[in-house]
Amino acid sequence: MKWDDLFAILPLVVISTWAVVLVLVDIVIPRDRKGITAALAALGLIFALYFTLPQYNRHLVAFNGMVIVDGFSAFLNTLFLASGLLAIALAYGFLKRNNIDRSEYYTLMLFSISGMMLMGIAADLIIIFLALELLSIPLYVLAGFARPRLDSEEAALKYFILGAFSGGFVVYGVALVYGATGSTAIVEIIQAVVAGKAAMVLLTIGAALIMVGFGFKVAAVPFHMWTPDVYQGSPSPVTSFMAVGAKAAGFAALLRIFVSAFPYLSVSLVPILWLISALTMILGNIVAIAQNNIKRMLAYSSIAHAGYILMAVVTFGKGSAAIDAVSAALFYLLAYALTNFGAWSVVIALEKSEGRGLLLQDYAGLGKKYPAWAAAMTVFMLSFTGVPPTLGFLGKFYLFRSVLEGGFIGLAIIAVLTSLVSAYYYLRVVVIMYMQDGEPVVEGDIWLKVAAGATAVLVVVLSLFATPLLQWAAQATLQSGL
């Protein structure tokens, strides 16, 4: 193994090795001191982050083209690791409060993050599939972590069945792409197409099947059916982690594959992606209006945001416009991650055992009794809507602008109109908190308070000083060679 090979996978090796060692170390940790396991898991994420940062401003291909390190992968891996830290902060008190404080939670999370990181650096369709399974299998277990609660077990089973189903689409798509080009490496697929050696019909069908498989993972319509039930039945910290990590990993693969390997198929696939993106935005936002359960509302909200990010994939045949769209998508993922974790921290603080405290009406009176929590939730709802000064506003602004520059004016209009629709159900939460009477009870531990406060401040402050973040996302895209 060459040094470049080791350097490329070093953060991944650190996090996966740390997860294995954590299983052994946990044996000697007393059952009433499992907070030590959480702290060790967080420490492992920090170490992996330390080894990820030097990968910025580098562009190298390792393991005979199967792995690539560039700004794109470094940006996403940083996002995955930071998401893991926030997810641990949200989970620590929740697990204790609900008597499911089992240490394997943190090990499973680390393994899932390792799959997400592998997705970020994958440059071969086989590696992308392996990464998909590595990130998904621990999430299937985590979804059912609140056993013997029936809704949690049901969520795990639904997620597993539909996840395996979507994985089959990806495998079949990869097989067809291999049959069409003679390779699964993204670079060699491009070379086969340019040289005129690829069977374009077979390649188009394979790309479409891969798109279907990852459509399940990112919860795009019509592959979204699992999302509301799984989000509602899973433990809330798992749902928050799933909504950010799994979605970002899915888009990492979609952006890498379509923008890099399949731009020549844009004439055939762009109309399909356009329709999927539009339907996802419309259905997610409209159905969210009818939800009275905060977890189901956020589930449909997550579907809607998948539609917004999919707009970046729609531009994959537009050259420089596609690069700008990928940069905007990376920034949007960062804004969505901070906003999402913040919103779920408030949900977790109000949630009681057996799934109580999750109705929108349970938020009545929060503004009077717990003004700090209500203020934080208001920031997150405004950011989801896209109201300044929040990161959500900037994320939508740059993403919509890039879509307009790509020539998809109709899609941008749909995005703006559905954002206006989303204001109804997001601001309804704010109205209930401040304008209705109630006696909510918040049970937030110190780490949950830190997560909620930090994300609320970052969502606002970073929107005022967003230029470095925008440059970071743009540089990550340019360095990737997408």
How far is residue 374's CA from residue 430's CA, in Å, rounded to a whole number? 8
Distance (Å, whole) CA 157 – CA 177: 30
pLDDT at residue 148, rounded to an integer: 79
Eight-state DSSP code of residue 209:
H
> Two tokens at 10?
């070093």
State the pLDDT at residue 393.
94
Angle between helices 391-405 and 446-464 (to 10 degrees): 50
**What's the pLDDT tens digit per position in 258-283?**
887 787 787 788 899 999 999 999 99
What pLDDT, on the 0 to 100 scale, is given for residue 354? 65
Strands (E), 31-127: 60-62, 67-69
Q: Which is higher by pLDDT, 70 or 461? A: 461
CB 272 within 8 A of CB 225: no
In this predicted model, which residue has the larger pLDDT, 307 or 7?
307
What is the pLDDT confidence band of residue 479, given thresholds at 50, 70 and 90? low
The answer to whether 482 and 259 are in contact (CB under 8 A) is yes
Verdict on whether the full-model pTM lies above 0.85: yes
121-152 residues labelled b (16+ CB within 10 A) or e (exposed): bbbbbebbbebbebbbbbbbbbbbbbeebebb
Q: What is the pLDDT of residue 295?
A: 93
Q: Give yes or no for a contact between 176 and 205, defined as CB atoms under 8 angstroms apart.
A: yes
pLDDT digits (tens, 9 = 90+) for 288-298: 999 999 999 99
Q: Work out the pLDDT band at 27, boundaries 50, 70, 90.
A: confident
For 59-103, the pLDDT digits (tens) are 888 888 889 888 888 899 999 999 999 999 999 888 888 888 887
| Cβ neighbours around 17 below 10 Å, total | 14
Q: pLDDT tens-digit profile of 182-214?
A: 989 988 998 898 888 888 899 999 999 999 999
Residue 360: count of CB within 10 angstroms of its CB: 18
Q: What is the DSSP letter of 388?
A: S
Q: Per-residue pLDDT for 481 more than 80?
A: no
Q: Residue 64 — left, alpha, or beta (φ > 0 → left; ψ -120 to 50 → alpha)? A: left
